Structure 1
Amino acid sequence: MTELTLSAIVSKRSRAKSDEFQALTDRYLARAAHYMPAQALNFESEDALSAWIAKAPGRAAAHAILFDPRGKTLTSDEFAHTLGRLRDDGAQRIVFAIGPADGWSDQARTRAAALVSFGRITLPHELARVVAAEQIYRALTILAGHPYHLGH
């Protein structure tokens, strides 16, 4: 079964300052877990995330989807299709990652399975996590044929 991880590069001083944002992120990931295992992890550097993606103990390397302003802006259906394609192709681990404040390195962008953009706006890190978690949940409901995505 495919396992999802929503990760973020966050320095210690930038860790979640708002319980409300964290509660929303947790709520959407808990809902997503009804469709496939989902978790959230923070990393202090791109290198730490890259090492975890490459080889978590006893697990296959993960497919990384990086949220990046240079990425493709997708509709929710297109985002669901991207997730579904990886799942159907047998990906064991999919990591959705929100990058550091100064953006992803060229090396990270090259290694990524996909680059996805939230558009040309800049979001605070905590809000980007909520948006990503909701879109992951929405994508899973689309793939399952659940009506959540209709009218929400």
Structure 2
Amino acid sequence: MQITLAYIGPRASSGDEFERLAQTYLQRTSSFARCESVAFRSEQALLDWLSKQQGRTQPAVALLDSRGRQMTSEAFAAWLGVRRDEGAQLIVFAIGPASGWSDATRKDARLLLSLGPFTLAHGLARVVMAEQIYRASTILSGHPYHTGH
């Protein structure tokens, strides 16, 4: 299973602290699944990339959206576990453009996911999402990270 944390915006620089933190969590997650972070210049560029992803399963796309579903860490882990158990080869968590996702893109998503009622800076949203992906992976594997033991 490949997990991609995608975002619309300029590629983060190596000195970007948010990027450093997001990469730390994605590297930790790589013990459980292959992970990457990818920047796209536009929503259309992301959609074009998604259409080129070949595999025996369609990518499972979760868009971060303020109107999306809010979940506990356990519920998010369960969602991720179901995708894994269904044999998903690619799961994409995408942070959208500043103007939000188009209605057509929102309609095609497997999941609309909200990190809460606050609007977050893209860099901070990447860190939160990367940490939750890692947390979900530890929950699914029984690792003590989530319980603090």
Give the TM-score of the pair, scaled to structure 1: 0.91
Shift of 1:19: 2.1
In structure 2, what is the Cα distance between the partners aligned to 1:151 and 1:34?
19
SS state at 1:126 partner = helix
Q: 2:109 maps to what in 1?
A: 112
In structure 1, what is the Cα distance between the partners aligned to 2:37 and 2:12?
12
In structure 2, what is the Cα distance between the partners aligned to 1:138 and 1:78?
11
State the AA in 1 paired with 2:118: I
User: How many residues are matched?
Assistant: 147
- Taking only aligned residues, the RMSD between alpha carbons, in angstroms, comes to 1.4
Q: 2:33 maps to what in 1?
A: 36
State the AA in 2 paired with 1:123: L
Q: 2:12 maps to what in 1?
A: 16
SS state at 1:66 partner = strand
Shift of 1:16: 3.0
SS state at 2:145 partner = helix
Match of 1:147 among 122, 144, 147: 144
Aligned counterparts, 1:1-152, within 5 A:
2-10=1-9, 12=10, 15-16=11-12, 19-56=16-53, 58-59=54-55, 60-151=57-148
Alignment deviations for residues 42-87 of structure 1 (CA, whole Å, 9 cap, x no partner)? 001111111111222x435311011100101100001101111111
SS state at 1:148 partner = coil
Alignment deviations for residues 86-107 of structure 1 (CA, whole Å, 9 cap, x no partner)? 1100111000000100101111
Unmatched runs of 5 consecutive residues or more in structure 1: none
Is the 8 Å Cα contact of residues 2 and 33 (structure 2) preserved in structure 1? yes
In structure 1, what is the Cα distance between the partners aligned to 2:105 and 2:81?
22
SS state at 2:104 partner = helix
Is the 8 Å Cα contact of residues 54 and 62 (structure 1) preserved in structure 2? no
Give the TM-score of the pair, scaled to structure 2: 0.93
Percent identical pairs in the alignment equals 52
In structure 2, what is the Cα distance between the partners aligned to 1:20 and 1:3?
24
Unmatched runs of 5 consecutive residues or more in structure 2: none
Name the CA shift for 1:61/1:52 in 2 (closer, same or farther; >3 Å). farther
